[in-house]
A and B are shown apart, each in its own frame.
Chain A
């Protein structure tokens, strides 16, 4: 069994990628320190179930990245993560701490297979927060199996491990996840407004959805949030059309100040300064907004920013 001599090591990467063990002042302090019961429990010396959650977290914090050099302690951490009987808050905090360790990738590399295996198991965990986070972490790795599970859950609610809006959000990390068809379906017949919003976000990368976004952006019955998303998508998919649309909406007196502000912001940041400099009609409208709007209003600010773009 490992002893308390496990040290805090600043891994130095050699050419072959292995970590060189270096003893530091902090190490010396650790070596002489008696291990806590929780740290011992992490390493398998005593039952994890007997350790208090707060003490386990403290032990993990004290170990810091040194846990990466202590395979038994790391395995103990994985056991907590996978233990469905353990305190959920503890497991979530442990997950955050382990994810933090991934930011030291060379030292984390030997543990990565075990971590990925644990994350995959967590996708079916009874705790929804852990489930959601595991799906998220794997989706950000563009994990094909995870993407397939998410799509499968959207196509058949009986197989869904996450709410549709969350599944769609996670699928939007990868435009190549093959989620456009199901996103179109959900956009047409959404189970709730959030799911529709997230379906639109997935489709924001779909070149075939330009007309859809023009329609949504122009529909004054849509919420500002959804129109904002449509503007962003259109700006990405068809920038010239967005500029034309933004100009028209910025001049439309029946539009809300929020939408006019959004349009002026699009023109100010992505418009062609030469085109804007010749657009006297738009400039006159900008002057009116600067003169009429409340001093603290976003519309006035957006108008001032646009003016800077062409002057």
Chain B
């Protein structure tokens, strides 16, 4: 007797990743003798040291617990339960926690999974850090890889208007990070984007092994085992980043608003989104000059993605604090007087450039990168996301809207 598992509606290894939100886990018995009452099994977890932790429930919105008893039919019919990461206990390595199915003391099947969560870059393990920088370096592939598309999405002109020219600033960057993260996961599925808490000192981020150390001239040095030493963008070698404010390794800038102040901007999106200036804009310019301090070049610096991951996390925290996941709630977004009155790309029902492929005015004349990368774990947001698809990232309004990422403290 053994168990056949299907996680996230897939039997593929690439789908064995969890967040804090429920994932469907389908099980069926194989090679078993008929029994009219079925076989009662117990689901539990097997954790490696410091590994992730998981919880189970019979229903998606039910009570999740460390163990779950389920009756599996012997005729091969599947039973679906739900599994999610145990909040506060994310994984550190791929497969460091396993779904275990037992009948009594007999193990019928195990399935290694990962509770893959976006974490504070300052507390990553060396392994998590190294896997992230390796995936970034390989995605960039000496400036010739897929990363070039991400560079070309974040430039001046009409592209700038799409990314920064209105209330779509936060949804656009959420889609942008999601697309990049999925591309990184295609290289190494254990990678999640880390975030830089720019309102706190981050000594472990600004090291030769991670985001590098800038010298007085503004040239960033990486250690010999850090593949980011081969970083190149647009034919230009290396990363230019010069300290012009406090050193973020040791001191938080007084010009960059603290998280609490950002979350206190108000419960209405229109008020909250002034964070585009501070802390977002200030985080770009108050610590460093160099690429990261100008929109046309910011995405040349890998640190940019850690910065924006924190901007996205702040939005996610604000959403959680004020229950602003539903686009139908007026305060959840800054819609115009009519559904189409804002610049295309900023109305709630608009498709997002460049994933929509639209290259006619007012959209930019090119759409680098093609459609949004798909995830083996979730179906949303599809290849051409809308602004509204970015709001319900946890699938709280509609479970099918989950985008497949979560933060370690939300």
Measured CB to CB, the residues of A under 8 A from B are: 8, 10-15, 17, 20, 22, 24-26, 61, 64-65, 92-93, 96-97, 99-106, 129, 133, 136-137, 140-141, 165-166, 169, 172-175, 194, 197-198, 201, 204-205, 224-225, 228-229, 231-233, 235-236, 239, 258-259, 261-262, 265-266, 268-270, 298-299, 301-302, 305
The verdict on B74 contacting chain A, using a C-beta distance below 8 Å, is: no
Please pick, from A15, A129, A236, the residue contacting B230 in the complex, using a CB distance under 8 A: A236
Option from B166, B225, B231, B268 in Cβ contact (under 8 Å) with A301? B225
Question: How far is A299 from B244 in the complex, measured between Cα atoms in Å?
Answer: 34
**CB proximity to A under 8 Å, residues B123-149:** 130, 134, 137-138, 141-144
Q: Is the CB of A14 within 8 A of B336?
A: yes
Q: Which residues of B contact A96 (CB under 8 A)?
A: 244-245, 255, 282, 285-286
Stretch at the interface among B176-184, B197-205, B289-297: B289-297
A103 touches B284 (CB 8 A): yes
How many residues of chain B get a CB closer than 8 Å to chain A's CBs? 70
Given contacts A64-B277, A133-B289, whether A236 and B142 have CB atoms under 8 Å apart is yes
A–B complex contacts, Cβ < 8 Å, 5 sampled:
A13-B165, A14-B343, A99-B293, A100-B285, A236-B143
Closest chain B residue to A300 by CB distance?
B225
Q: Nearest Cβ distance between residue B29 and chain A, in whole angstroms?
A: 35
Closest to A258 in B: B224
Q: What is B's interface to A at a CB cutoff of 8 Å? A: 130, 134, 137-138, 141-144, 156, 160-161, 164-167, 217-219, 221, 223-227, 229-232, 234-238, 240, 242, 244-245, 255, 265-266, 268, 270-271, 273-274, 276-278, 280-282, 284-286, 289-291, 293-297, 334, 336, 341-344, 346, 362
A262 touches B229 (CB 8 A): yes
- CB <8 Å contact, B274 and A133: no
> Roughly how many angstroms separate A24 CA and B267 CA in the complex, as a whole number?
11
Beyond A26-B274, A173-B236, A205-B235, whether A13 also contacts B346 by CB under 8 A is yes
B residues in contact with A269, CB < 8 Å: 134, 137-138, 227, 230
Contact B266 A26 (CB under 8 A): yes
B133: min CB distance to chain A, Å = 9
Q: Cβ of B343 and Cβ of A17 under 8 Å apart?
A: yes
Contact A169–B164 (Cβ < 8 Å): no
B289: chain A residues within 8 A (beta carbon): 133, 136-137
